[in-house]
């Protein structure tokens, strides 16, 4: 049965619409901080006191139900949890393979071992280099041994300086304290980031097609950036300029000044430069479903 990231408002039987998602969450950190035990506690609701270090990478899947964007909607996420071996050489030599497609990361340290906190910056950097930046959450594990905590004011100040806006969780794989909240938190962060990216793509696609349609109406006369600014006051000028560059790159528009095509960047073009629709652009403007009009 799927797990709930939040208390269910009625479950699958009462959902009006169900959307399925796939997420990849990496659990990273130094050796013996409790990454495997946290995953086991979250998925199986149990703790194995015998420590066995992870060799390479181990993956487990879990289904999680979350409320949808609209009331009555439901999202069913299949989450692949990747348990990474806490070995620096493996991380640096195989980071592309390890972290490609990651949607979020839990960075785990051991509160009894302050030396496991600072290396989290390297783990987060490695994930970010491959992904371009995804949500992550810092987890302080083994709070059942809170009396033995070695993370003091100096470490806390370093953490605030390095990651000022990053959420944190206090967990115990042994007792289960905070474990569900930590995993639910990073899953929710990853889903929110995914939905925000989708929304931005939709907005950009609409803006791009508006620009293309405006150029199509002007046909061989073309259209200038100032004319676009005046006609699309709901869009920011830098967004319009970025989309003009994208349309030129896609060969849907050509940029010219009194005839010859130029390859100047749109943002640096003088006001006299105009944009003329190409035959391909005219086809796309007439049928927006023909091409996605998205530049990654």
Query: Domain map of the chain by residue range?
Result: 3-196, 222-290
- DSSP states along 59-84: EEEEEEEEE-SSTTEEEEEEEEEEEE
pLDDT 10s digits, 116-140: 999 999 999 999 999 999 999 999 9
Is 242 buried (19+), middle (13-18) or exposed (0-12) by CB count in 10 A? middle
Question: Other CB atoms closer than 10 Å to residue 137's CB: what's the count?
Answer: 24
What does the pLDDT read at residue 38?
96
3-state secondary structure at position 224: strand
pLDDT 10s digits, 235-271: 899 999 999 999 999 999 999 874 444 445 555 555 5
What does the pLDDT read at residue 18?
86
Q: What average pLDDT does this structure show over 169-180?
A: 95
CATH number given to 3-196: 3.40.50.300
Residue 115, pLDDT > 60, answer: yes
Residue 10: pLDDT band (50, 70, 90) is low
Residue 295, pLDDT > 70, answer: no
CATH number given to 222-290: 1.10.10.10
Residue 78, pLDDT > 60, answer: yes
Contacts for 233 with CB less than 8 Å, ≥ 6 apart: none
Equal CATH topology for 3-196 and 222-290? no
- DSSP states along 4-45: ESS--SS-GGG-SEEEEEEEEEEEEESTTSSHHHHHHHHHHS
């Amino acid at each position: 049965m799927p797990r709930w990231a939040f208390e269910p408002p009625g479950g699958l039987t009462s959902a009006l619409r169900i959307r399925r998602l796939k997420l990849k969450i990496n659990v990273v950190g130094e050796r013996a901080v409790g990454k495997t035990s946290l995953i086991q506690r979250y998925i199986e609701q149990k703790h194995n006191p015998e420590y066995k270090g992870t060799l390479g990478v181990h993956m487990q899947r879990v289904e999680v139900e979350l409320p949808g964007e609209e009331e009555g909607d439901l999202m069913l996420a299949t989450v692949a949890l990747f348990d990474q071996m806490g070995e620096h050489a493996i991380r640096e030599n195989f980071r592309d393979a390890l972290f490609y497609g990651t949607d979020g990361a839990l960075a785990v340290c051991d509160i009894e071992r302050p030396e496991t906190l600072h290396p989290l910056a390297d783990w987060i950097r490695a994930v970010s280099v491959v992904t371009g930046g995804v949500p992550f959450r810092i987890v302080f594990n083994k709070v059942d041994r809170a009396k033995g905590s070695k993370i003091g004011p100096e470490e806390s100040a370093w953490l605030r300086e390095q990651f000022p806006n990053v959420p944190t969780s206090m967990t115990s794989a042994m007792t289960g304290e905070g474990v569900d909240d930590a995993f639910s938190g990073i899953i929710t962060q990853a889903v929110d980031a995914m939905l925000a990216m989708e929304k931005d793509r939709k907005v950009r696609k609409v803006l791009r097609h508006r620009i293309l349609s405006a150029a199509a109406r002007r046909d061989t006369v073309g259209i200038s950036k100032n004319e676009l600014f005046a006609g699309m006051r709901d869009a920011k000028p830098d967004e319009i300029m970025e989309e003009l560059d994208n349309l030129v790159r896609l060969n849907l528009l050509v940029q010219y000044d009194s005839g010859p095509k130029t390859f100047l960047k749109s943002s640096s073009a003088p006001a006299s430069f105009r944009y003329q629709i190409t035959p391909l652009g005219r086809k796309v403007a007439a049928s927006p479903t023909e091409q996605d009009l998205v530049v990654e």
